Amino acid sequence: MNEQISVVLAIIIGTLAAIVYSMRILILLERRIARMDENILRITKNVFKEELKIEQEEKKIQNMLKKKKK
């Protein structure tokens, strides 16, 4: 009888340990994904700033070309 109880307790403890380990892995993955999201946002902001600079340069060039034609 004691052997059966100890086997059941071992199974329960093993299952709980597996759940805790899985939760730990999930938390680590969530942190990694959050960092990736932050990096993607930072890159997107930089690309947007560069696009604005390019558009401003294009406008300058177009204005210069219009002045030369006149």
Could you tell me the two tokens for 20?
């805790």
Q: What is the pLDDT of residue 67?
A: 84
* pLDDT higher than threshold 90 for residue 1: no
Residue with tokens 């219009």: 66
Q: What is the pLDDT of residues 3-37, one digit of tens each?
A: 999 999 999 999 999 999 999 999 999 999 999 99
Amino acid found at 38:
E
* pLDDT grade for 70, boundaries at 50, 70 and 90: low
Written in H, E and C, the secondary structure of the chain is: CHHHHHHHHHHHHHHHHHHHHHHHHHHHHHHHHHHHHHHHHHHHHHHHHHHHHHHHHHHHHHHHHHHHHC
Q: What is the pLDDT of residue 66?
A: 86
